[in-house]
Amino acid sequence: MKSRLAISLYYKLFFVFGISFLLIISTLLLTNRDQNFLLNIAGLLLVVVILISNGYLIRKMLKPLDEMKKSAREFGAGKFNGRVSTDSSDEIGELGQALNTMAGQIQSQVEALKQMAVGVSHEIRSPLARMRLVTESLTSDDSRRLLNNEIQNIDRIVEMTIEREALDNGLSQLLLQPIIVNELLLELAAYYQECGEKISIDLPNAPVLLTADRRRLEMLFKNLLDNCFEHGRSAAGAKVVLQLEGKRGSVIITDKGPGIGSDDLQRGLGLRLCASIAKAHGMELTVDTASTTGSSTILSWDTIAH
């Protein structure tokens, strides 16, 4: 079956050639019937004008297709900045819009991959540098322990990258289950206190229920708290507040460090993974980047949803 585009193009060409053919035949018949020299010259000139007009109209109809062919070649060469002119509203214009949409989507995906590569490079550089220093003195148990910790950091970075890409591209399903947020935050607070970190927690008396993927929600909170302890550099540590106001729940995590820069939001894999996890759950994640005396991160959700 012929496509709508082919049928439309054939119809337009048939119309142009058909009208031109009728005009030329009519002109020739008139000039043959009348032997007036000037009339014959005028008829021939009219035929020439019709042929030139046909050439112009055909080139005008085929020009968008030539632009699409050129753009398709550029897309194949990895150049997605160009766009096809889509002035017409017919099938050719629709094809141009489809090509532009495809180019935009591919360009967005390529930019996302570039940002991910920059993020991985940024995050993995510090553990590797420390590993190189530690390997120079692998004669004690402490050195081996430090090296093992850095290897675990690299594993964590790889896991965060895989998780984020899986969530953003719909390659992984959430394992939803009822969760008491109070209990999860208490477990995390106990874990960080055992690690020697200072953390305070403020919870409501009533349990706050949430339907979520426990493993990923725990990963989200751990990444936010790790940012506090890694970049906070404050003796006050981190503070976690769980609130429930009407049908809106929220967890607020604050520290008294230097704050989070906008560059960290773009490059940091941890924060980007947190945003992906929150989005997959239908939650809202807000990071305060204006303050220079600490950072504040708010995770909020509707309790009637998951």
Is-contact 273 224, C-beta < 8 A?
no
Is-contact 225 284, C-beta < 8 A?
no
The tens-digit pLDDT sequence of the chain (306 residues) is: 345 555 555 555 555 555 666 555 665 555 555 555 555 566 666 666 666 766 666 667 667 777 777 777 777 776 777 777 766 666 677 777 777 787 777 777 777 766 766 666 667 667 767 776 766 666 667 666 767 767 776 777 777 777 777 777 666 788 899 999 999 999 999 988 888 888 999 999 999 999 999 999 998 999 899 888 876 555 668 899 999 988 899 999 988 766 565 555 555 667 888 888 999 899 999 987 665 567 789 999 987 544
Residue owning tokens 């042929």 = 51
- Name the β-bridge partners of 249: 244, 301
CA distances from 241 to 27, 98, 182, 263, 291 (A): 89, 48, 10, 26, 19
Letter string b/e over residues 154-164, b meaning 16 or more CB atoms within 10 A of that residue's CB? eebbeebbebb
The SS3 call for residue 144 is helix
Is-contact 237 255, C-beta < 8 A?
yes
Q: What is the pLDDT of residue 243?
A: 93
Q: What is the pLDDT of residue 180?
A: 94
Tokens read off for 222: 């751990």
Cα–Cα dist 82/69, whole Å: 12
How far separated are the first and last CA of the chain, in Å rounded? 47
Q: What is the pLDDT of residue 208?
A: 92
The SS3 call for residue 89 is coil
Q: What is the H or E stretch that residue 250 is in?
A: strand 248-255
CATH of 176-302 given 3.40.190.10, 3.60.21.10, 3.40.50.2300, 3.30.565.10: 3.30.565.10
The CB density around residue 213, as the number of other CB atoms within 10 Å, is 21
- Give 233: exposed, middle or buried? Use CB within 10 Å, 0-12, 13-18, 19+: exposed
CA distances from 77 to 73, 80, 104, 115, 125 (A): 6, 9, 15, 21, 31
Measured in degrees and rounded to the nearest 5, phi and psi for residue 71 equal: -65, -40
Is-contact 214 176, C-beta < 8 A?
no
Q: What is the pLDDT of residue 228?
A: 82
Is-contact 138 287, C-beta < 8 A?
no
- Give 251: exposed, middle or buried? Use CB within 10 Å, 0-12, 13-18, 19+: buried
The amino acid that residue 299 corresponds to is L
**Whole-prediction pTM:** 0.54
Q: What is the pLDDT of residue 305?
A: 44
Is-contact 240 189, C-beta < 8 A?
yes
Q: What is the pLDDT of residue 1?
A: 38
